[in-house]
Amino acid sequence: MYKKTTIIALNTIVIKEINRFTRIWMQTILPPTIGMALYFVIFGSLIGPRIGTMNGFVYMEYIAPGLIMMAIINNSYGNVVSSFFGAKFQKHIEEILVAPIPNIIILIGFVAGGVARGICVGIVVTFVALFFTKLSMHSLGITIAIVLLTSIAFSLGGLINAIFAEKFDDIAIIPNFVLAPLIYLGGVFYSIDMLP
């Protein structure tokens, strides 16, 4: 009986999280897609031809995987931090916490919602990338594993930030001081060999 109740609780949290971002897809799926399309136009089409090749790839091919991962990272993090902090701020997280649900199930439920949004946005951005360049994959299994592990890691980061955040300004600390430097210094737009 306990196992069945736990599975129902996990399903409920995951479905609630997925419904939360799919219900408002014009705010959660469309803006990151348009943002990535702008990156492809500005950096790939306008600046890319002036740069030439990067590590043997046309510049547009070089930045495409990084932009896809950037969308996955930002959305995995953003979904969990906004959902959990919103529940905490509106005091309805208490209903989940007092229910006879193990903490690990609550954690898995919120993280699964973040992973779902990250992968959903990643798939849409990948289709957008295919309009601008061709994408080649070394290994489908490794690619899927990296996408899953990355979205899980940043969903957990969003959950940790939401747990310790006391006001809305606190949820912007990680994106501003961790994610932005990682994105711009991590080799999305240039080879890290160029760093001093």
Average pLDDT rounded to a whole number, residues 81-90:
93
User: pTM for the full model?
Assistant: 0.91
The pair of three-digit structure tokens given for residue 83, joined into one six-digit string: 């959902």
DSSP-based three-state secondary structure for 154: helix
DSSP-based three-state secondary structure for 53: strand
Average pLDDT rounded to a whole number, residues 150-179:
93
Angle between helices 59-89 and 2-23 (to 10 degrees): 120
Q: Are the CB atoms for 122 and 71 separated by under 8 Å?
A: yes
* Cα angle for residues 43, 45, 46 (degrees, 5° grid): 70
Residue ranges covered by each domain of the chain? 2-42+57-189
What is the per-residue pLDDT for 161?
A: 94
The residue behind tokens 């208490």 is 94
Average pLDDT rounded to a whole number, residues 75-95:
92
Pick the closest to residue 144 from 159, 129, 126 (CA basis).
Answer: 126
The 10s digit of each residue's pLDDT in 1-29 is 478 889 999 999 999 999 999 999 999 99
The 10s digit of each residue's pLDDT in 166-195 is 998 999 988 999 888 988 888 787 877 777
What is the per-residue pLDDT for 23?
A: 95
List alpha helices for 41-139, DSSP H: 48-51, 59-89, 93-98, 103-132
The 10s digit of each residue's pLDDT in 19-66 is 999 999 999 999 999 999 998 898 878 888 888 888 888 888 888 999
The 10s digit of each residue's pLDDT in 101-138 is 899 999 999 999 999 999 999 999 999 999 988 888 88
Other beta carbons within 10 Å of 25: 12
Q: Are the CB atoms for 78 and 35 separated by under 8 Å?
A: no
What is the per-residue pLDDT for 128?
A: 94
Give the integer Cα–Cα distance in Å for 173 and 194: 28
What is the per-residue pLDDT for 1?
A: 47
